[in-house]
Structures are given as C-alpha cells and as structure tokens.
A and B are shown apart, each in its own frame.
Chain A
Amino acid sequence: MRGKSTTVQTISVAGGTCGMAAGAGEVWNKFARVLGENSPGIRLELTGCKGFCAMEPVVTIGDIFYCRVRPSDVEEILEKTVHNGELLERLLFQDDGKTCETRREIPFYQYQDRRVLSLTGEVDPVNLQDYLTRKGFESLKKALKMKGEDIIQEVKDSGLRGRGGGGFPTGRKWESCRNSQADSVRYIICNGDEGDPGCFQDRSLMEGNPYLVLEGLIIGGYAIGAEQGYIYVRSEYPLAVKNLEIALARIRAEGFLGRNILDSGFDFDIEIVRGAGAFVCGESSALMASIEGKIGEPRVKHIHATNRGLWDKPTVLNNVKTLASIPLIIGKGAAWFSSIGTENSKGTMIFSLTGNIKNTGLVEVPMGITLRDLIYKIGGGIPGGKKFKAIQTGGPSGGCLPESSLDLPVDYEALLEAGSMMGSGGMVVMDEDTCMVRVAQYFLNFTREESCGKCPPCSEGSLLMLKILDKFIAGNADEDDLDQLGAIGRMVAKTSLCGLGKSAPNPVLTTLRYFKDEYQSHIKGICPAGACPGLNQ
C-alpha cells in the first residue's frame, strides 16, 4: 500500500508500434475518455516503447509497472491506484511467483543500464518541452561553442564504434570526412533503414525519442562541416517518420535547426528520406544511390563514402544508435562514456531480444555482459521448459552461436572471432525445436531475395547453396554436399562485391561450424528438431 500522493501523477501508456499492435491505443483512449477534459493532478501521457514488449500494453504510474492492461482495467486503475494508492496485484509483473511492486524489482530492468534509452518510453516523444527540461539540446549548445576538431577528438576519446554493424570508430570516420576535399560540400546521413528482420531498436529510438537522434545528427553535421543532413527511414516505419517529421518542424521553429542555429553562425538542415523496401539499401553505397533517386545498387568498396559519397561529396553515414550516443558523449564527456565496456568495445549496446525467449523486448546493456546473462537474467530464459539451442546475432549477415558460446562477452571482436558479429543489435533465441539447417536456409533465402543481382558470386553462389540445403531438408544429401556447401560459402564470402554478399554465407558457415552433427543427422534421414517433414525425429 502506498500513501495518497499530492503532486501531479503521470499515467503513462507505452505507445510504440509494439504497444499499439497489442492494443495500447484503445487503453489510452479509454483513459482519455474516463478522465475527460479536466482531471486536476493527473497527467496522461503516450510515450514510446518502454522496452518490455512481451508485457504490452504497458501502463506505468510513477514506479508502478502494469502489464497487459486492457481497456476494461482502466476504471479500476484510476479508482484504486491513482486515487487511493492501492496496487492491482493481477496487473503487476510476476517473476516465478514473486510479484514485482515496482519497475526496479523486475529482473528485465534490473540488469540493464539504460543510457541511450534513458528517455525512450519515459517522455511524450514529440513534446519538445519535455525533452528540453531533461537537458535536451544542452549538448548541442555546448558543441556549438567547441571547434569541430575538438568534438571529433572527444568522440574519438570516447571509443564509440558504429552501432550499425561493422563497428568502425565513429571519431575516425568523422575525421576523415572533415579532412577530405577541402572546401567541398559535405553530407551526414543517419541510417534508419533497420533492415535486419527481428530488429526494432532503431525504430524504438526514432519513434520514442526522435529529438535525441536529431540532436546527434546536428552535432555530427557541425563537427564535420556539413550543411545538409538526411535521415533514411525504413518504409515499414510510418510512426517513426511521423514523429521525426513533427520533431523536425518543432526544432526548426525553435531555432535548433535551419539558418544560424542558436546564433552560432552554423547553418544546417535535415531531410527525411523514406526507404522503399530493399534490404540492400541499408548498405552505405546503395543507401546513397537510393537517396539520389536511383536503384539501390552497391558499388565497389575501395571508394570511401567519407571521400566520395552522396552526389560524390564527402559523406558520413552513421547508424541511429551511434548518433543517439553523441549527445551523451558531448554532454557527459568521453570518460563517462568509456567508463563501462570492454577494452575495445566501450559504452552500452542496445539489443532487440526476440524468438524463443520469455522476456521479448528492447534492452540496453553494458558492453562485455555475457550472452548467458542477457538470455537468462534479462531475458528470463526459454519458455515452455524447452532447451536452448542457439542464439543468432547480426541478422542475416551474422551467425548462430551454440550453448558453448554463451559465456562470450558482448564485444565486437569476441563475436567476430566466434563467427558471428555484433551487427545492429538483433538477437534471436532459438530453442530445441528449431532445425538449424532450416534456419540457414531461411537466412540464405532472405539474402538471395534481397541480393541486387549485380555480382554473380552473391546471386549465383547463394542459389547453389540453397539447392544443396534443399537436399539436406529432403534427406537426400551426402557427405560431399557437406564439403561443397562449406567450399561455396567461403568462395561467396571472399569474392562478393558488397557487404551483403560477403556476409550472406555466415549463417551457413556458422551452423556448419557449430551444428555439423545436425547436418549429418539429416544425411541419415533424421531431423533432430522434428521440423523437416518426411524425416524421422
């Protein structure tokens, strides 16, 4: 029991895409209807995603965290919790029979360190005043008083590496763009294409705290000497586009964007470009071709975008999470940022935890946390008493890691060595009922369909591999096929033109490395997961 509160109470409904899909809109409408125009002492707020997607629709009142709220719960919440301070037990999170009275007690949140996500899900995403009262745009003000070089040095000192896949040091990327082609026009682009299926961390940030992403983009533009920025958003994300549009209009009106920003003499504007549904457009050169209104075909890598990118001008491309980290680094300093993490992977990483896992959601964890802690402490383990089989990181370009890799730290190099990659933050857990041969087929199918078809190793090589995988699934494969599959995979990885083709064989190669016995079972006509029709289990 809690005492009756005298201050303003905020009822906050999580209204990200995940929440809306689960019915948060109806819950919010019901609150609005019952509260009516005049409800002194109560503020009703629709926020972005609070992260715990498995429990949507989520409603919080201060520290109280209500799960799976239905419109029919609304009147009781108002009467008992808001007016009388009583808890509704049935809506609280239950962890192995233990009821969590506050959010802090929920293990899903306990082991996280929400830094970049600190405001996502806590504020009305498009309310500029909310952002400003939480130190929003203070970092931009500070940055505008610094020299571009000094900002870049701070970003270098922080150890920030790209959160979009490759992990390239952000400060170095900015520096080479700034120093390229003196007197040229420059561009900075935010990559919000988020093409990896099963990923929603960039969406949640753009939807839930668009100002943070934009602030990072403006600071980046200032640091490298650009006057125009772009934010490239995936076509399936209408809410992200809408919130970004509103946010842009508001900051333009307040002088944080446009000509002579905050009287600093710096001119900068941002345009939103909607993607049109092609995975390869997340790749740097394809994305730029797409912004230029062309087919999103990648070009050979030896021309660096920082030298000749968009319209052949020096260009920086950064992921949403990378740019969203910038205001924190400028505001709190490089030392603060790099105080957590591992030797070569600093700060936190945001993951979408999905698949066969209890606590599906968006998590932010310090670099260096083990996969085991992520899956069991935060993710709550595998539902239905099933056994863990694999964790897939890095999307279609990444790999599947087995039980024996679970003590690996989340670290760029450690994941690469294991054959997977950090990627953009997708983390899909698979249980014992998942057939790894089929998983390899699934990802390869995905990349083949998304291949632009320009270079033969990628388009033809993946087709050949798929044919061999089909033989395994039908139970017609032999040992030679096993060898061939690996050989073709290595060839495609070596000779493809762009990152899509180079990484396309990864799911095949990692499953061959860690789950070879499962391929061998298929040769004998057995699918251990019982997922291939016609084969024995």
Chain B
Amino acid sequence: MINLVGKLQDIQEEFGYLKRDKLDEISRELKIPLARIYSLATFYSSFSLTPPAKHSITVCTGTACYIKGAGEIVERIIEKLGITPGETTDDNKFKLETVNCLGACALAPLVTIDGNYYGNMTPEKIIEALETYL
C-alpha cells in the first residue's frame, strides 16, 4: 500500500517544500491525478507549495502560549518585518508561521527561529532575537 501523504512528507523534508516537478513525477508514477495531490498538499498544514525562506520563524500560538501573550509577539513581528503569518519577506529572508503548540509549554510564549528555541519571549526580546538574523 503506497502512502501518498508519506511520499509528500519525504519531498517536503528533502526540499523544504513540495516542488512542482516532483509532484508531476509522483502523479505520473503512481497514476494519481495532480488535482488529488494538490488537495492533499493544501489540506495538511505541514506542506508548503513555495520554497522556504532563508530563515523560518515559527511562533507558537497554542493555548499556553496564547495565555502568556503570544498574540503580542506575533504583532511585533508583523510590525517589524511587514509580513503576516504564512508570508515571506520580499527578499526571501524570513518566513513567518504560527503553530499550535510545540510541546514545550513551560517556556511559553515560545518562538523558534531556524529550529532554535526562544522561550519566555516578550515583545522586546523577540526583536532582539530577530536582529541577530538580520
């Protein structure tokens, strides 16, 4: 049994997004219409159809982080970089995303930049952290 979701995950992992030519390849190989692949790719939030930016910022907006002020953190990043969650800056330097709980709620509010954890964030500290990537 071929798991299509798993196949897409492998591509996502290798390239950081679902490359069009790779999707075409799967479609031909497995005789699955491209439309069906796209419906999966857009349903599941861990897939991306655009190439990754140089730095990826993920703000946790899970309950614990929300209660401790994740909303303000997101707003400060929006102000600073001019992109909303899901968007990439024009120079392709930053992509902003939100996630529902990273499973480290004791550090709420929590942000990761390129996989590095920044815990107990405040609107000031997140700007400081961002500066180091500018």
Interface residues of A (CB under 8 A from B): 17-18, 20-22, 53-54, 56, 194-200, 203, 235-237, 273-279, 290-296, 352, 354-356, 360-361, 392, 395, 426, 428, 430, 434, 442-443, 446, 452
Complex alpha-carbon distance, A18 and B47, angstroms:
25
Whether A277 and B67, one on each chain, are in contact in the complex, defined by CB atoms closer than 8 angstroms, is no
Complex alpha-carbon distance, A72 and B59, angstroms:
29
Whether B63 and A276, one on each chain, are in contact in the complex, defined by CB atoms closer than 8 angstroms, is no
- Known contacts A22-B119, A352-B105, A360-B105: A279-B100 contact under CB 8 Å: yes
Whether B63 and A200, one on each chain, are in contact in the complex, defined by CB atoms closer than 8 angstroms, is no
Whether A199 and B101, one on each chain, are in contact in the complex, defined by CB atoms closer than 8 angstroms, is yes
Give every chain B residue within 8 A of A277 (Cβ-Cβ).
44-47
Per the 8 Å Cβ criterion, residues 74-119 of B in contact with A are 99-108, 110, 117, 119
Whether B105 and A278, one on each chain, are in contact in the complex, defined by CB atoms closer than 8 angstroms, is no
Complex alpha-carbon distance, A278 and B42, angstroms:
11
Whether B63 and A392, one on each chain, are in contact in the complex, defined by CB atoms closer than 8 angstroms, is yes
Question: Closest Cβ of chain B: how far from A452's Cβ, in Å?
Answer: 8
A-B contact pairs, 16 of them (CB 8 A): A18-B106, A21-B104, A197-B64, A198-B63, A198-B64, A236-B99, A273-B6, A279-B100, A293-B40, A354-B105, A355-B67, A360-B64, A360-B108, A361-B106, A442-B63, A442-B66
Give every chain A residue within 8 A of B2 (Cβ-Cβ).
293
Per the 8 Å Cβ criterion, residues 36-52 of B in contact with A are 39-40, 43-47
Cβ 8 A contact of A197, one of B3, B6, B100:
B100
Give every chain B residue within 8 A of A293 (Cβ-Cβ).
1-6, 40
Whether B3 and A17, one on each chain, are in contact in the complex, defined by CB atoms closer than 8 angstroms, is no
Whether B103 and A278, one on each chain, are in contact in the complex, defined by CB atoms closer than 8 angstroms, is no
Cβ 8 A contact of B68, one of A20, A194, A355:
A355
Whether B119 and A21, one on each chain, are in contact in the complex, defined by CB atoms closer than 8 angstroms, is yes
Whether B106 and A54, one on each chain, are in contact in the complex, defined by CB atoms closer than 8 angstroms, is yes
A433's nearest neighbour on chain B, judged by CB, is: B67
- Known contacts A22-B119, A276-B47, A295-B39: A356-B105 contact under CB 8 Å: no
Give every chain A residue within 8 A of B107 (Cβ-Cβ).
18, 21-22, 53, 56
Cβ 8 A contact of A18, one of B4, B44, B103:
B103
Give every chain A residue within 8 A of B6 (Cβ-Cβ).
273-274, 293
Give every chain A residue within 8 A of B117 (Cβ-Cβ).
20-22
Whether A290 and B5, one on each chain, are in contact in the complex, defined by CB atoms closer than 8 angstroms, is yes
Whether B67 and A428, one on each chain, are in contact in the complex, defined by CB atoms closer than 8 angstroms, is yes
Interface residues of B (CB under 8 A from A): 1-6, 8-9, 39-40, 43-47, 61-64, 66-68, 99-108, 110, 117, 119
Give every chain A residue within 8 A of B61 (Cβ-Cβ).
197
Whether B105 and A236, one on each chain, are in contact in the complex, defined by CB atoms closer than 8 angstroms, is no
A-B contact count (CB 8 A): 125
Give every chain A residue within 8 A of B63 (Cβ-Cβ).
196-198, 354-355, 392, 395, 426, 428, 442-443
Cβ 8 A contact of A198, one of B44, B45, B62:
B62
Complex alpha-carbon distance, A53 and B104, angstroms:
8
Whether B103 and A17, one on each chain, are in contact in the complex, defined by CB atoms closer than 8 angstroms, is yes
Cβ 8 A contact of B3, one of A54, A56, A273, A443:
A273
Give every chain B residue within 8 A of A195 (Cβ-Cβ).
100
Whether A360 and B67, one on each chain, are in contact in the complex, defined by CB atoms closer than 8 angstroms, is no
Whether A274 and B9, one on each chain, are in contact in the complex, defined by CB atoms closer than 8 angstroms, is yes
Whether B46 and A56, one on each chain, are in contact in the complex, defined by CB atoms closer than 8 angstroms, is no
Question: Closest Cβ of chain A: how far from B36's Cβ, in Å?
Answer: 9
Give every chain B residue within 8 A of A200 (Cβ-Cβ).
101, 103-105
Complex alpha-carbon distance, A273 and B6, angstroms:
8
Whether B5 and A276, one on each chain, are in contact in the complex, defined by CB atoms closer than 8 angstroms, is yes
Question: Closest Cβ of chain A: how far from B7's Cβ, in Å?
Answer: 8
Complex alpha-carbon distance, A279 and B4, angstroms:
19
Whether A296 and B100, one on each chain, are in contact in the complex, defined by CB atoms closer than 8 angstroms, is no
Which residue, of B101, B102, B117, has the highest number of chain A Cβ atoms within 10 A? B101
Whether A356 and B68, one on each chain, are in contact in the complex, defined by CB atoms closer than 8 angstroms, is yes
Give every chain B residue within 8 A of A294 (Cβ-Cβ).
40
Whether B103 and A236, one on each chain, are in contact in the complex, defined by CB atoms closer than 8 angstroms, is yes
- Known contacts A200-B101, A293-B2: A354-B47 contact under CB 8 Å: no
Question: Closest Cβ of chain A: how far from B76's Cβ, in Å?
Answer: 15
Complex alpha-carbon distance, A275 and B46, angstroms:
9
Cβ 8 A contact of A53, one of B39, B40, B67, B105:
B105
Whether A278 and B68, one on each chain, are in contact in the complex, defined by CB atoms closer than 8 angstroms, is no
Whether A278 and B44, one on each chain, are in contact in the complex, defined by CB atoms closer than 8 angstroms, is yes
Question: Closest Cβ of chain A: how far from B57's Cβ, in Å?
Answer: 15
Give every chain B residue within 8 A of A279 (Cβ-Cβ).
100
Give every chain B residue within 8 A of A196 (Cβ-Cβ).
63, 101
Give every chain A residue within 8 A of B102 (Cβ-Cβ).
17, 21, 236
Question: Closest Cβ of chain B: how far from A19's Cβ, in Å?
Answer: 9
Whether A430 and B67, one on each chain, are in contact in the complex, defined by CB atoms closer than 8 angstroms, is yes
- Known contacts A236-B102, A277-B45: A295-B40 contact under CB 8 Å: yes
Whether B43 and A296, one on each chain, are in contact in the complex, defined by CB atoms closer than 8 angstroms, is yes
Whether A354 and B44, one on each chain, are in contact in the complex, defined by CB atoms closer than 8 angstroms, is no
Give every chain A residue within 8 A of B46 (Cβ-Cβ).
235, 275-277
Complex alpha-carbon distance, A395 and B106, angstroms:
17
Complex alpha-carbon distance, A294 and B101, angstroms:
24
Give every chain A residue within 8 A of B5 (Cβ-Cβ).
276, 290, 293
Whether B9 and A276, one on each chain, are in contact in the complex, defined by CB atoms closer than 8 angstroms, is yes
Complex alpha-carbon distance, A352 and B67, angstroms:
15
Whether A291 and B3, one on each chain, are in contact in the complex, defined by CB atoms closer than 8 angstroms, is yes
Complex alpha-carbon distance, A395 and B101, angstroms:
12
